[in-house]
């Protein structure tokens, strides 16, 4: 199944360095339309005012966490179908379960490699 790599992707992380790394890794797999947000609230505003085919978000951010962002996205009639990948250092079972129950599309634990990112994106967008 071919994936439309011209779609807008929103990446969300409070570490600017991490945003830069993910942006570059996405660019290497030919996702060039990437926007950034540094917390859940900023991300939600961008999602509501734009059109995105994929969200890749960290969990641990303030004032709105990645999990809260996911819950907001899934509760929004227009956004609820947007594929949402969590990339986070939170690797406890309860965190993964909470994310799944909130409707996460896939979950990547940091530190991750480019192959894992590519594989999860293909899986999520292939199912979208």
Partner 1 sequence: MLELPARIPEPLAHRLAAIRSRYPASDPDMVAGVVGAVLTTMRGDLSASDTALLHEVEELGRTIAAARAEIAALQVDDITASHIPSATDELDAIVAHTAGATNSILEVCETLDSVAGKLDGEAAAALQDATTRIYEACSFQDITGQRITKVVATLKAIDSKVAQILNTFSEAHGDSFRAPTPAVVVSPVPANGDPAAVGPQLPGNAMDQTDIDKLLASFD
- Can the peptide bond before residue 95 be classed as cis, meaning omega within 30 degrees of 0? no
Tell me the closest approach of the beta carbon of residue 58 to partner 1, in angstroms: 8
Tell me the closest approach of the beta carbon of residue 75 to partner 1, in angstroms: 13
**Binds partner 1 by CB under 8 A, chosen from 33, 45, 78, 89:** 89
Helix axes 93-102, 66-75, angle to 10 degrees: 20
Tell me the closest approach of the beta carbon of residue 53 to partner 1, in angstroms: 21
**Do 62 and 39 meet the contact criterion of CB atoms below 8 Å apart?**
yes
Burial class from Cβ neighbours inside 10 Å (0-12, 13-18, 19+) for residue 120 reads buried
Task: Determine, following the binding rule CB under 8 A, whether residue 112 of this chain makes contact with partner 1.
Answer: yes
Tell me the closest approach of the beta carbon of residue 115 to partner 1, in angstroms: 9
- Bridge partner residues of 88 (DSSP): 109
Contacting partner 1 within 20-79 (CB under 8 A): 20-21, 24-25, 27-28, 59-60, 65, 67-68
- HSE-up of residue 69 (Cα within 13 Å, Cβ side): 33
Contact residues toward partner 1 (CB under 8 A) are 13, 15, 17-18, 20-21, 24-25, 27-28, 59-60, 65, 67-68, 88-98, 100, 106-114, 116
């Amino acid at each position: 199944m071919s994936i439309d790599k011209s779609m807008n992707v929103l990446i969300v992380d409070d570490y600017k360095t991490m945003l830069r790394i993910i942006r570059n890794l996405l660019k290497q797999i030919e996702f060039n339309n990437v926007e950034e947000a540094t917390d859940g609230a900023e991300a939600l505003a961008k999602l509501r005012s734009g059109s995105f085919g994929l969200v890749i978000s960290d969990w641990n951010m303030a004032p709105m966490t990645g999990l809260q962002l996911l819950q907001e996205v899934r509760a929004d009639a227009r956004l609820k179908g947007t594929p949402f990948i969590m990339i986070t250092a939170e690797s406890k079972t309860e965190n993964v379960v909470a994310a799944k129950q909130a409707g996460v599309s896939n979950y990547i634990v940091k530190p991750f490699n480019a192959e894992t990112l590519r594989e999860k994106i293909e899986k999520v967008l292939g199912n979208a």
